[in-house]
Amino acid sequence: MEKSNPILIIEDSIEDFEIVSWAFQKAGNQQSIERVARAEDALLRINQFDALKPCLILLDLNLPGMSGKELLTLIKQSDDGSFIPVVVLSNSNNPHDIKSCYRLGASGYICKPLQLQQFIDKIKNLMSYWFNTVALPLERN
Amino acid sequence: MAENKPDEFYNDLGRIDQPDILSLQNCDREQVQFSGAIQPYGALLVLDPNSLTIISASANTYSLLAATWDSLVGSNIDSLLGEEQAQALRLQLMAKPVNTALAYLMTVSCLKSVNQPFHLFANATEGQLLLEFEAVEAIEPSVQTVSWQRLYSAMQCLQQTTSLSGFFAEALEQIQFFSGFERVMAYRFDTDGSGEVIAEIKPDALESYLSLHYPASDIPEPARRLFALSPLRHLPDVDYTPVPLLPETLEKTVNLSYANLRSVSVMYTGYLRNMGVKATLVMPLFKAGKLWGLIACQHSTPLYLSYEKRIPLELLSQMLSQWMLSREEQEQLAYKEQLNQVLDQLMVKMAKSESLQQALIQDDINLLTDFDAGGVAVLMDGKLVVLGKTPLQNQITLLIKWLAQQVEDIFTTDSLSKHFPFAQEFSDVASGLLAIRLSSKSQDWIIWFRAEILTEVNWAGNPDKPVEIDEFNGEIRLQPRTSFALWQQTVNARSRPWLECEQEYAIRLRNALFTIVVERAWLLAQINADLERSNLELDSFAYAASHDMKEPLRGIYNYVEFLKLEESEHLSPTGRQRLETILNLAERMVGFLDTLLQYSRIGKNKLEFSACNMNELIKETVTIINDAWQDNAINIEIQGSLPVINGDAVWVSRIFQNLLTNAIKYNQQPCKQIVIGCDTTQATPVFFVRDNGIGIAPEYHEKIFELFYHLHNREVFGSGSGAGLTIVRRAVERHGGRIWLESTLGQGSTFFFTLSPIKIKS
């Protein structure tokens, strides 16, 4: 798959980002990873006309300013981003949060596990599903 | 002593032929107002109110007014009074229109008897104007002045009296002076219409009527009603010959209801004669606008009082009415003051006390303090407490049932068994009753009881035989009573009557109670609302805090993991051990936070209720547990069939998960037996989880539900959050249910719970 369609990770905590990108690396990720720390930046990036659209978005719910759920809604309503799969990556395992995210159009929901190995496994499965099982809605070269 | 038996008392069925013989058949048809006759101490003219043409005149106009009746009938009033006076009369009638109440108009003299002036009184009824002429009595101005001075000093004396009895004594003395009548009595009506002579002045030679009771039929209701309209009724001579109104045949009969001169009933004159009375004068007494009694004057020989003599009496009686209320109030003042003080003290007590009912009954200051009653009962919120001498509790309960149907508000009686025959059973303690309902819809009551007082009532004559019946010509003839001999009656099932100020006290107490209750309810609602809000805030706080804390905690865990992975070889075994410890500690904290999150969620989130098939739900839950533990030594059995209930499936499952987890953890048996079931015989289904585990000593049955409470050390049964049961209880309570347990140390535990409010099977 085209490497230049990045995985967009929306995560405000630098530590959490370090952990997730480490997990991606250990899981054998080949795609480029871009990060934004605020929802507003994510919208800008998605709507950027002179850059490649992200192939997959990983969204933390706990963002400063606009919340993750609000951002999810906006992405799914926008012309430029509604087709991009958004997988929520969250600390919360509250069933209400899970349900509402799916209602708002999330394509998946991962509770960040405690242990690193579990995290690596989840990312492996994530990649296997989105890159090797289903088709992504982006043109490949 | 009774007044004219008037008018409304008898049916409107036309005149009778022989008005002086009454029989049982026709006494109800005597129509005194249409008797067409007057007393001889004045003359009466009936006129057309517009033209002032004389329609009818009493037969005595010649002797009084020097004009024969037939000369008057047909002409107008000018022929009698002359043009000037007639004109004055017309002006007067226009200025102050006349109605039924008899009014003094002016003084006139007739054309033919200029030297004798007359007082002119008028009343109008049914399109007729009635003019009464009464001779003016010439009184020396100096005598007149003395009379007014005397009246003035009489008023002063009355004002200075300090007691009710002193008031009446003074009043009767003054009336005797002004009227000259031998016997003057003050007569008070009872609630049932009978009456009692409460004060009396008489010559020594005559027997006393003081404290005598007279039956209601002596002064029937219609008579009493008329007194309200007439300030004074005078019968100067019992043996008078009625003067007819002429001509006898008239188109329209004259209504003499309100005429002073009206001829009185034969029953009345007969009655008086039987009593030895020849002349009477009667004035009504009012208290707070209602007819309270009469001043009755009697004389053993005929006695006529002119208008001049009657005026001071009318004035006096009206003043008596005014002042009687305040005299009575003064008498009761000291008592009233005491009661006010008690009420204040009671209110202070109630404000400080949790139980209003106890505050009213207990200690030194209670509902009987200074209050003239033998006992009191208070029914509040279905609980009945009594103090002092009262009927039995079951009797009171029946009484209250009866009261609830009769009474909205307040009920007083001094003879309860008259109204409620069942009360005869306890008439010794409760002949008198003052019952007050705390609010019009409530079932709360305060009831004071008064013991029976055996009294002798002195009746003037047999009260059950107010008229005598004897045969005459085959007819049964009614005679007014001839016998006024003392007839004593022992009255029982009666108490002292209740005073106005006592009723007021009850009402004020009720109002104070009501206010307190309402305030408390409002306060309670406020407190509950605050509590709700506080809990909600706490839950939100707990949720936010645990949620926010999880992120860096996980970060710590992961970074220690990084260290392990990347720096292990640079660490000593101890160092590696330390890292493990950090990981363990962090894990525990994550556990706590998860528990806190879960716990706060039950408070915060709305439960989603749906019909839960418990058979299926429990089966699924048991599967989850078995999968988690993967232990063959665990045997979970579902006993019997479980019902379908209304609840939040997620939380219900969690309840069972927690209980099952506990049942498995706190169990040292080789084979762990757990039974799940439900008791559907109760009105509300009671679920249970029974285990053969280690059991819980009774002193811990409450504590184990506390948040983060640990009964055992972590090492013994594995670490738990310590919130499992807390969460279970909260979830149960949010379903409106209750959880409790039965357990003995070493012999397993059974947890019982309901998932809806417990209904009591009726």
Q: pLDDT per residue over B452-485, tens digit each? A: 877 667 777 666 665 665 555 555 445 565 655 6
Q: Which residues of A touch B556 (CB under 8 A)?
A: none
Residue B438: which pLDDT band, with cuts at 50, 70 and 90? confident
**Would you say residue A140 has pLDDT above 50?**
no
Mutate to test the interface with B, among A13, A14, A19 (most CBs of B within 10 A): A19
The predicted pLDDT at position B577 comes to 93
Q: How far is B654 from chain A (nearest CA, A)?
A: 13
Nearest CA in chain A to B605: A96
> What are the strands, taking DSSP E only, across B392-499?
410-413, 432-437, 445-450, 455-460, 467-472, 475-480, 486-491
Please give the share of chain B, as a percent, with pLDDT higher than 90. 26
Q: Mean pLDDT of all residues in chain B? A: 83
Residue with the larger pLDDT of the pair A65 and B482: A65
Confidence band, pLDDT 50/70/90 cuts, at residue A25: very high
For residue B488, name the pLDDT band (cuts at 50, 70, 90).
low
> Whole-angstrom Cα distance, residue A78 to residue B572?
55
Contact between chains at B551 and A16 (C-beta distance less than 8 A): yes
- pLDDT value, residue B261: 86
Outline where B50-163 has alpha helix (H).
Answer: 61-65, 69-72, 78-95, 141-160
pLDDT > 70 fraction of chain A, expressed in percent and rounded = 96
State the Cα–Cα distance between residues B390 and B403, nearest whole angstrom. 16
Average pLDDT estimate for B188-195: 79
Average pLDDT, chain A: 90
Q: How far apart are CA B62 and CA B78, in angstroms?
A: 16
- Which of A107-116, B136-145, B149-158, B627-636 is predicted least confidently? B136-145
More confidently predicted of B598 and B572: B572
Residues B614, B299: Cα–Cα separation, whole Å: 98
Q: What pLDDT score does B461 carry?
A: 65
Q: Which two tokens stand for residue B548?
A: 């926010």
Report the complex ipTM. Answer: 0.87
Residues B350, B359 contacting (CB under 8 angstroms):
yes
Q: Which of B111-120, B222-231, B326-335, B405-414 has the lowest average pLDDT?
A: B222-231
Average pLDDT, integer, range B14-32: 42
CA angle B543, B545, B547 (to 5 degrees): 65
pLDDT above 90 (res B164): no
Partner-chain contact B547 A91, CB within 8 Å: yes
Q: Among B51-60, B164-173, B322-331, which is the least confidently predicted range?
A: B322-331
| Residue A48 Cα, gap to closest chain B Cα (Å) | 31
Look at residue B402 and tell me whether its pLDDT is greater than 80: yes
Q: Which of A19, A93, A41, A77 is nearest to B559 (CA)?
A: A19
Find the mean pLDDT for residues B96-101: 76
Asked if the C-beta of B554 comes within 8 angstroms of chain A's C-beta atoms, the answer is yes
pLDDT value at position B554? Answer: 92
Q: Look at residue B149 in the predicted model and tell me its pLDDT.
A: 87
Q: What is the pTM of this model?
A: 0.52
d(Cα B223, Cα B5) in Å, to the nearest integer?
Answer: 6
The enclosing H or E element of B197 equals strand B195-201
What pLDDT shows up at residue B15?
Answer: 31
Which of A16, A93, A96 is nearest residue B555 as measured by Cβ atoms?
A16
What is residue B672's predicted lDDT score, i.e. its pLDDT?
92
CB spacing of A62 vs B551 below 8 angstroms: yes
Question: Picking from B25-39, B157-171, B562-576, which range would have the lowest pLDDT averaged per residue?
Answer: B25-39
pLDDT reported for residue B227: 67
Residue that wins the pLDDT comparison between B562 and B9: B562
Torsion of CA B113, B115, B119, B123, to 10 degrees: 20
Does the pLDDT at position B194 exceed 70? yes
Match 């101005």 to its residue by tokens.
B141
CB atoms within 10 A of CB B287: 16
**pLDDT at position B692, please?**
93
pLDDT of residue B499: 87
d(CA A67, CA A72): 9
How far is Cα B692 from Cα B633, in angstroms, rounded to an integer?
A: 12
- Check CB contact of B650 with chain A, cutoff 8 Å: yes
pLDDT value at position B435?
93
Contacts of B14 (CB under 8 A, 6+ apart): B29, B31
Instruction: Provide the pLDDT for residue B331.
Output: 73
Structure confidence at residue B742 (pLDDT): 93
Share of chain B above pLDDT 70, in %: 88
Residue type for B265, please? Answer: S
Q: What is the pLDDT of residue B678?
A: 93
CB contact under 8 A, B558 and A119: yes
Q: Within an 8 Å CB–CB cutoff, is residue B608 touching chain A?
A: no
- Asked whether residue A63 carries a pLDDT value surpassing 70, the answer given is yes
